[in-house]
Copies of this chain bind each other. A is one copy, B any other.
Amino acid sequence: MKWMGLSLIGAERGEPGGGTFTGWDPAEGRALEPRYHSAHPHEVERACRLAREAMPVFGALPSRQRAVFLERAAEALLAAEADFLAVTPRETGLPPARIQSELGRAANQFRQFARLLEEGSWVDARIDHAAPERRPAPRPDLRSALRPLGPVAVFGASNFPLAFSVAGGDTASALAAGCPVIAKAHPAHPATSERAGLALREAVLACGLPEGVFSLLFDAGMDVGRALVRHPSIRAVGFTGSRAGGRALMELAAARPEPIPVFAEMGSINPVFILPTALAARPEALAEQLAASMLLGAGQFCTSPGLIVTAGGEGHETFRARLAERLGAAPAVPMLTEGIAERFREGVARLAARPDTRRRVEGESRAAYAVPALFEVELDALLSEPALTEEVFGSCAIVAHVREAGDFARVAAHLEGQLTATLMVEAGDHALAAELLPVLADRVGRVLVNGVPTGVEVCAAMVHGGPYPASSDGRFTAVGTGAIHRFARPVCFQDVPDALLPSELRESNPLNLWRTVDGVLKRG
A472 at the interface (CB under 8 A from B): yes
Question: So how many copies of this chain end up in the complex?
Answer: 2
Please, which residues of chain B bring their CB within 8 A of the CB of A461? 126-128, 142-144, 492, 516
A444 at the interface (CB under 8 A from B): yes
Report the Cα distance A469→B256, complex, angstroms. 11
**With A455-B137, A491-B444 given, is the CB distance from A449 to B259 under 8 Å?**
no
Report the Cα distance A136→B491, complex, angstroms. 42
**With A494-B447, A495-B450 given, is the CB distance from A101 to B500 under 8 Å?**
no
Is the Cβ of A491 less than 8 Å from the Cβ of B144?
A: no
Task: Tell me the A residues contacting B by CB distance below 8 Å.
Answer: 55-56, 59-60, 101, 115, 119, 121, 126-128, 136-137, 139-140, 142-144, 147, 149-150, 250-251, 254, 258-261, 416-417, 430, 433-434, 437-439, 441-442, 444-451, 455, 457, 459-463, 467-469, 472-477, 482, 488-497, 499-500, 514, 516, 519, 521
12 new A-B contacts at CB < 8 Å, known A140-B451, A430-B500, A474-B489: A115-B519, A128-B457, A128-B459, A144-B482, A149-B475, A150-B442, A437-B496, A447-B492, A447-B496, A451-B494, A461-B492, A482-B490
Q: Could you tell me the dominant secondary structure of chain A's interface residues?
A: mixed
Q: Chain B's nearest CB lies how many Å from the CB of A354?
A: 23
Report the Cα distance A261→B476, complex, angstroms. 12
Is the Cβ of B258 less than 8 Å from the Cβ of A469?
A: yes
The CB with the most chain B CB atoms within 10 A, among A439, A455, A475, A494, is that of A494
Q: Chain B's nearest CB lies how many Å from the CB of A513?
A: 10
Report the Cα distance A130→B347, complex, angstroms. 37
Is the Cβ of A457 less than 8 Å from the Cβ of B142?
A: yes
Report the Cα distance A258→B139, complex, angstroms. 42
Q: Chain B's nearest CB lies how many Å from the CB of A291?
A: 17
